[in-house]
Amino acid sequence: MKVGFIGLGIMGRPMCKNLLKAGYEVVAFTPNSKDALADVVACGASAAKSNADVAANCEVVVTMVPNSPHVRAAVLGKDGILEGAKPGLTVIDMSSIAPLESKAIAKECEKKGVNMLDCPVSGGEPKAINGTLSIMCGGPKEIFEKYKDLLLAMGSSAVHCGEGHGAGNTVKLANQIIVAANIAACAEAYSLSTMAGVDPRQVFNAIRGGLAGSTVMDAKVPMMMAGDFKPGFRIDLHIKDLNNALDTGHGLGAPLLLTAQVQEMLYWLHNNGCGNDDHSAIVKYYEHISGTPVREDAV
């Protein structure tokens, strides 16, 4: 199977490499990074000249780009996928975008005889590298089943969330709400315990095995304590996801009170030069307002 891959950023590049490791023939393109394209070519991919060129040479195309406008441009824009697509092509959009935009783009694809799945991922850069992403999929189940093995070359799980386009992105918004609120709760709790004079390492060791423990805590609290905010998932990208969640919630009349509160923290961080930090840097907001650093050597 010849697979197209568009978007070679912090997530897309390792995902593309995992397809190559799994034995797929990959045709790759990214508009903004010659170095990233050269890197995957060195690993065995072929380089395309445009999104349309990718589509013209593949039966399935994976897109992994930042947000809704980038997916729209990659699929529907000048030199986009639909310009090079033959009927029967499948687009698997693994970006995290607004569910209504997934539906709209899929509708345009259908007019050209092109199938589409929305398959956003969770796990950040570490899981993109080791191929253990969680993948949430929306769209026709028969198309999902056809390409499930392809998805599992990049993830440890791929779950069909619904026949309707946008179902995968709706589930991803739920995921991002839970992750953001969890990180903020960890930052708040560790700020409290540090201000009370308790070693944050002991707090971590004491509670991680109980009901409060979580994958988020295990991944993000050590980063907070070390002051290591190298991005596995950038604050600016989480802002984008929560904006999509809030917009969707407003349209549905769904109350997203915690989401709105955490979003204000993220915007404060963005406006204070932390937009490219990992989202574990939410702790910086608490350190700022409390005047107490949450670090391994803080107590």
Please tell me whether residues 116 and 23 are part of one structural domain. Answer: yes
Q: Would 295 be classed as within a structural domain?
A: no
CATH code for the domain in which residue 254 is found: 1.10.1040.10
Contacts of 178 (CB under 8 A, 6+ apart): none
Largest CA distance in the chain: 65
Angle at the Cα of 189 from the Cα atoms of 188 and 195, rounded to 5 degrees: 90
In this structure, the answer to whether residues 81 and 178 fall within a common structural domain is no
Same structural domain, 19 and 157:
yes
User: Scanning the structure block, which residue is given the tokens 């739920």?
Assistant: 174
Query: Digits of tens for pLDDT over the chain (299 positions)?
Result: 899 999 999 999 999 999 999 999 999 999 888 899 999 999 999 999 999 999 999 999 999 999 999 999 999 999 999 999 999 999 999 999 999 999 999 999 999 999 999 999 998 888 999 999 999 999 999 999 999 999 999 999 999 999 999 999 999 999 999 999 999 999 999 999 999 999 989 999 999 999 999 999 999 999 999 999 999 889 999 999 999 999 999 999 999 999 999 999 999 999 999 999 999 999 999 999 999 998 876 65
Looking at the fold, whether 223 and 245 belong to one and the same domain comes out as: yes
- Identify whether residues 153 and 6 lie together within a single domain: yes
Domain assignment present for 297: no
Q: Which of 179, 175, 150 is nearest to 161 (CA)?
A: 175
Whether residue 53 is found in the same domain as residue 143:
yes
Could you confirm whether 86 is annotated as catalytic? no
Statement to judge: residues 224 and 103 lie in one domain: no
CA distance 130 to 257: 34
CATH number at residue 137: 3.40.50.720
Together in a domain, 118 and 6: yes
The answer to whether residues 157 and 175 belong to one domain is: no
Q: Among 132, 164, 196, where does a domain finish?
A: 164
Domain with 282 in it: 171-290
Total domains, the chain: 2
Distances from the Cα of 251 to the Cα of 19, 24, 137, 169, 200, angstroms: 37, 40, 22, 15, 41
**Residue 275 belongs to some domain of the structure:** yes
44 & 142 share domain? yes
Residues 75 and 178 in one domain: no
Q: 84 and 187: one domain?
A: no
Q: Is the pTM of this model over 0.85?
A: yes
> Of 172, 220, 240, 284, which one is the catalytic site residue?
172
